[in-house]
Structure 1
Amino acid sequence: MAITTTDPLLGRLVDGRYEIVSRLARGGMATVYLATDRRLDRDVAIKVMHPHLADGVDGAAFVSRFRREARAAARLTHPGVVAVYDQGLDGETSYLVMEYVPGTNLRRELHTEGTLTVRRTLDVLAQVLAALAAAHRKQLVHRDIKPENVLVAADPDAPQDADDADGDDRSPVRDRVKVADFGLARAVTEVTSTATGTILGTVAYLAPEVVTSGACDARTDVYAVGVLAYEMLTGVLPYAGEPPLQVAFHHVHEDFPTPSERVPWLPDDVDRLVASCTARNPGARPADAAAVLEAVERLRSTLADDVLDLRADPPARPADARTVPADDEAPGTSAAGDEGTDAVDEIPAGFFQEVSAPDRATDRLVEQPTEAWDAADGPPRRRGRVVAWTLVPLLLLGGGGVGTWWWFADGPGAWTTVPADVAGLPADDAQETLEAAGLGTTSSRAFDDEVPAGEVVTTQPAPGEPVRTDGTVEIVVSRGVQMLAVPRELVGADHGKAMAALESAGFDLSPAARVHDDEAAEGTVLGVSVPEGSRQRHDLLVRLTVSDGPAPVQVPQEVGKEKDEALADLEGLGLRVELAEPEYSEEVPDGHVMAQSPEHGSTAHRTDTVTVTLSLGPPLVDVPDVVGMRSDQARKALEKAGFQVDENAYLGGLLDTVRFQDTTGEAPKGSTVTLTVW
């Protein structure tokens, strides 16, 4: 039979602003509705938290945490994150207003497709990781990554008919992925773990450390992303169908299986990516989503197109499994926080169906029919045995449930939170505070630039984080600012060796100052910005002054200049001068530069050597003896030898005979020989 009920929130105006139009989804934490923001005239998704979360003595604490986490999520702006617009409390209704994302979610896509191609898987992972990387940079952890929280937005410009996509899962309709529910998991987990010892979350995606200690950081999201990748590639979760506690046991005590165990043709690189994300030890995982995103991009660039386009065969599903939305679900719509059933708050398939058509304001609950025993079914004794064998496992399960409840509620598995006011206290005071809360303490010391030495920097788990009631909290005590010793003998050392010495000492370096120096070879350290051997802050940037060698100069023209002038020019530029053996020259006067090397216009460096060749003037030649010759014969002989001739004639040169010559032996070629003729 079917029972029809009316949702009291449908048609209601929340906080005088948001008109509830229809219900989109219901999950373990909240119900999501499509609403109209009357003030801004736009569609929004409004998430109304289940009333029981705000009930009881911890209700106020939940509302406070819910508001805090909503504010943190609202500060996160990224195209891949569902935007948070508003949050508030209307009477007893705690609500969160978020961006409405028309489309579907990854869970429904997996139900429809069964599995995704390698290309589609890597594309979804890249978009999810980009959103998580933005959150991790702001120290915000999602804590509940699962297909229900990965929204696949419809592209209004893309064809909506399935035939238009040609069966290609790279269709533009599926290209925009957004991540929803940042902060909600943290807010709900904090209040429920304190009140009941329950870890609220989807156990199939929970990292081992969340199960064992409640610890949670960016690597917890990385683990869930690895599980998500496995599910997209294989179409199933590795421990599907097992009770939540048994699933948690697998995560804690067994290595997560590789996708190739189900899909043998998957490359080893895909297995390595999933294995690194799902390592049981958080320290073996990538530090955050940004690191995984780099690995995904590298993997996508290395895989061949034929591998990227492969898809595993969809897994066999039970005959009654729902693979498409029911008739009264609005296909192709999703909203921020469209949740399926959580593993710890599961609603049997077929028991509950959501209504999301705007013109329908009722929910249909389907009751499973009950069958009466008939005498024809068998003798009473047989029926008694059937009832007995049915009750025994139920009693065992009930006993186990009570034991589990006691363990987590009042036993050693119960949880509390680390006091929030221990940071900044002196170490002894922090220890007293923690011990007063019933927690054991250990301590470690760490350098800190802000917290004075001897005071508490933080705790592990951090203040406000969950911890077992009989657990131990590590107090991290400040050692003050870390001071490092500057190495000695840096000046005069090679630049590379000096850098290595400073980096080994723990310093970061600013770019070196490069200067020319006539004495120090290129690459030699000339100076350090801090005294050698001194102690400096670890975050101080050290700057080295490094020689670029002698400065470049252009060689001037010195040929034809007198020796002293040429030397002054060259030495004034920092060049060294080397004098070559002088040579005779009929063109260049004695004592002047007749040649240089390098030639003028060449580029040299200070302290380089310029070789200068000076002129000795014309060469020496033998002077012909012309005494006794007629004057014209003497002139011809001297001129032939290269001399100039000058005559002094007495008595008018009466006898025309050379009586004397002023130069004999050797004389510079071209010089003048004077003859006396009479």
Structure 2
Amino acid sequence: MDTQTSDPLVGRLLDGRYRVGSRVAKGGMATVYEALDTRLDRIVALKVMHSGLGDDAEFARRFVQEARSAARLSHPNVVAVFDQGDDNGTLFLAMEYVPGRTLRDLVRQFSPMSPSRALELLTPVLSALCAAHDAGIVHRDIKPENVLIANDGTVKVADFGLARASTASGNTATQGMLMGTVSYLAPELVTDGRADARSDVYSAGILLYELLTGEKPHSGESPIQVAYQHVHADVPPPSRLEASIPPYVDALVQRATARDRDLRPADARVFSRQVNRVRSALDEGLQDDPELTGDLTVPIQAMRQDSGYDDGYSRSAAAAMPAPAGVGGVAFPQNPGHNDTIVVEPELIASALKPGSVARPPAAKRRRGRGLATLLAVLLIAGAVGTAAWFVGVQRYTHAPNLVNLTEVAASAKAGEIGLKIEKRESTFSETVRAGLIIATDPGAGERIRKTGTIGLTVSKGPERYGVPKLTGLSQEAASQAIENTNLRLGKISTVYNENVPAGVVFGQYPKVNTSVKRDALVLLTVSKGKRPITVPDQTGKRQIQAKTALRRLGFTVKIDLAFSEKVPEGRVISQDPRTGIRYTRDTIKLLVSKGPALREVPNVRSKNVEDAKRILTAAGFKVEIRRGPFDLHLNLVAAQNPTAGTMAKPGSTVTITIL
């Protein structure tokens, strides 16, 4: 069945605002959807609590309270909480949508990681926890699934406060219970249910152990067995699994995961300072730093003596525990995975986890009424069977040598010393083992193999790297296909106006051409939107210099023509082509500029009387100025005129006449 189409929430509009899209993830308490905030027109992540939780008034109250607290956290490494709501009993959080992967994906693909890389990933997680602890907020559920890796590499922590809201619920399924992901659960959460900043430090320490080794420090057939080990077993040094890990990194992990919370860093800020010291030592290439190791080392032996348990006892006792269907009527999932959630009454689990309460297998009960002879017979038979088994089975086997990090030639020689052969079965990429060296063997080092058997080899091809192809000049679609064909991933696409590159064509890329990058590395593209459209402003009626300057500043080319105009004053724009609309840089805009009215011929008024001369000149469009000659005979006749008759002059200009 298609879970997307069968999900009743998909397509629904929550709170009149959030249009629910495809499902992103599902956990023990909530399901996350991609959604559209129709009010702000943006994509958000919508975390919807599972059905029934909204009916619990106490849970709803605490959920709102914790959501408000989380919303106050404004930090680049914290997934922002935008809103919370209740749509007829459907409780939800609207959060920042972070496209990318979770830290769980990186653990699966790349662990075990080098100490430098592991601490590089842990640092932003601690930065987020610092902000939370400074604000008095305890996360309570730090795990790889709650650490998001955005496509640009930014690390963000999600789900602040939700675990606390769940434990405060009045629901009969969770009231007074402990709720959390068992693999990362601090001992105090198991024994008394009380958490503080040091509980987050413990979970972060477990997270670091898993990054370094690729495995969790505690395992079992049921969650309660794992919880037992959190309480009674120290986290082993990661160098037991990865011998190259320096002692001060071991000490850092064991300090953070000390079972006694008083021995851990007081909060994420203190832990972060310790991490920075360790990173500095790693950057210097130190194989050991006795002073740093001593500062970080936890008095483990004293802890074991105080508690009365050691690793051997606690691990064997946990392993001997049955996989219970439940404790005190509370059910546990069988065969737990990495994300199993444990829900337990603290008082009951504290009682169940006492070493004296470990149930003995029924087969171990002594049978009464058996005689000594029967016992001796059984022992004799067992001895005979054991001896036969040794001859038939064990005697024919040896243990596989450690061939990891050897060349095939060296591995063949080492295996041959004890009569074994080697066979190359697989080549694979490795970030930590250089090309040509052995990554893994089947069977592994120390495992049983027939004395004439063959060890299968997995040989490193070195780091998986791909060259970035040339993408500039391609269409966006072609560039995307080229990226996919080279095992890279398309990252952010920026669209920018470009006056020289046609729309839809790539003219920028990062990383540059032929750069060697890891598989699935993001390639960022800059794609042309073509020429920037420019709205043409109407310059009609404006002065020539003003209109020309305004158009040139917008990027247009301006062409000016002149024409006489009886209506438009000289030097002003008569018309413009185009007058309005959209054009682009370097397009031509034509302006027709007025030269004023056309010139007119000055009439001949010599020998005319004054009144006739004035009438004739005024009718021709000229102004008249009268002057009397030096010898005024009072004849009122025009003796001279300026400009002279027949001259072309501007209408409205003055003609001076001299009279006698």
Could you say which TM-score interval applies, normalised by the shorter chain?
0.3 to 0.5
Structure of higher RCO (CA pairs closer than 8 Å, 6+ residues apart)? 1
Normalising by structure 1, what TM-score?
0.43
Normalising by structure 2, what TM-score?
0.44
